[in-house]
Every structure is written in structure tokens, then in C-alpha cells.
Amino acid sequence: MKDRVLVVQHDDLSPLGAIAEHLASEGISPTIIEPHRGDPMPSAAQFDILFVLGGQMEVWQEREHGWLVPEKAFIRHWVKDLDKPMLGICLGHQLLADALGGRVARARRGEGSLTTIALTEAGTQHPVYSGFGATKLAVSWHGSEVTDLPAKATTLSTTSDCAVSSFSVGSAAIGVQYHVEATGSQTDEWALSPAGAQHLVNLHGADDVPRVRQALAGARPDLWINSQRFYYNFMRLARENLAR
């Protein structure tokens, strides 16, 4: 029986990307819902594994995006009450922290580039990072960050500009601030979108943006390998959780 996978997508610029290809390689067709388009949160009993993707909104914008309230409640129930597997990416990482009582705020300095993720001691021992060295390349693209972890959560990695670039909570819930799903076409779209282009200029200055984009393009083979390894590590962890 194939894993029943639920994906929560928050905008057109943040699709499943590489993870769609990894799921397809296992013959898994996920159910994708879009709360920002009016899709309701389903019954948690219908699914085994949850992916919550990125988005341009902020976790605290509940008045502007009312659907954030039921989505946070769903995540809280999924992880706190059911202890089921979840991978939260960027906004999804922040929603996981916020839903469980952590805190998210504007970043001291955001990220929008190829970054080096440094594993903590706990990260080097966590199964989701099995096969990785002490550091790995990733795409980080955000202006807010987790500043306080939920109770009983553990930081798994950091970057020079982000103290919590990934964390674990429960037996199989993982949040990653960076983009394990990012493809080359996605990063190109982000860089060319009005908000994304301005984000890069604000962080790096207009003269340095071409170098940042060139670094992202040159790292695509390594990013793909890292994404694939991370995906299979997460799915192995998820399946062990579901088999308990």
C-alpha cells in the first residue's frame, strides 16, 4: 500500500518542486490542497505523511490570511496529538514552530542565496541527515525565522545568518528553513519575481545579484543530490514512525 501523502501549498511560486519527482519515483501521487484558494483542511485520518510548503505570507498574518488559523490547528493536532510524520519547508518550518508554541519573527538578516548548512551535534546523529557530512549546500530564501523553538524541539542545523535552519520535534516532525525542494527553475522564478528581485538587492546589493544567481546555478547538481538523500532519509523516518 502506497503512503497517503498530503501536501499543503501556499502559493504558485512554492510548489513541490524536486520532491514531486522524488515521490513519483516511488509511485506516490500526493493529494495537494491550497488553503489560500479556499481548500479546507481535511481529516488527518485520511493521510499518513504531511508536507507543508513555503509561501510569501507571514505566520502572524492571520487577519489577512484567515486560513492560517485552521492550518495551524491541523498541524498542532497532527504533530502534538497524533505524532505523525511531517516535513515543513520555509513557511512550513515556521508554521510548525508557531503551531506548537514556538516563536517566529523578522530575521535579523534574511537569506537569499546558496548557503552552507552546518549540522549541530544532534543533527549529525539524526536519521534525517544520515549520509551527510558536517555541512551541506542548500538554497535559503526567507525574511523571517524561528527565534524560539517549541518545547522539546531540537535544533538540527544552523547557518551563519539563521540560528535554527532545521529542527525536529516529536518522533518524526522536521522543519527546514531552507529549500530542499528547490529546482533551478524555481530559484530563477524567485529571483525574477518583483518581491524576490528586491529581496536579493536588499541582501546583497544590485551589483552582487548576478554572482548570487550564478552560484545557485552552478550548485544545481549538488542541490539535487542533497534533496534526494534528504527526501529518502525523511521517508524512511516517516515509515518507521507509521510502523510503530
Sequence ranges of the domains in the chain: 5-242
pTM for the complete prediction?
0.96
pLDDT at 121: 98
How large is the average pLDDT for residues 98-119?
95
Q: Which of 106-115, 204-213, 230-239 has the lowest mean pLDDT?
A: 204-213
Instruction: Note the pLDDT of residue 184.
Output: 87
Per-residue confidence (pLDDT) for residue 197, from 0 to 100: 85
Q: Please give the CATH topology (third level) of the domain spanning 5-242.
A: Rossmann fold (3.40.50)
Q: Is the pLDDT of residue 131 over 80?
A: yes
pLDDT digits (tens, 9 = 90+) for 28-82: 999 999 999 999 999 999 999 999 999 999 999 999 999 999 999 999 999 999 9
Q: CB–CB of 86/110 below 8 Å? A: no
The pLDDT of residue 79 is: 98
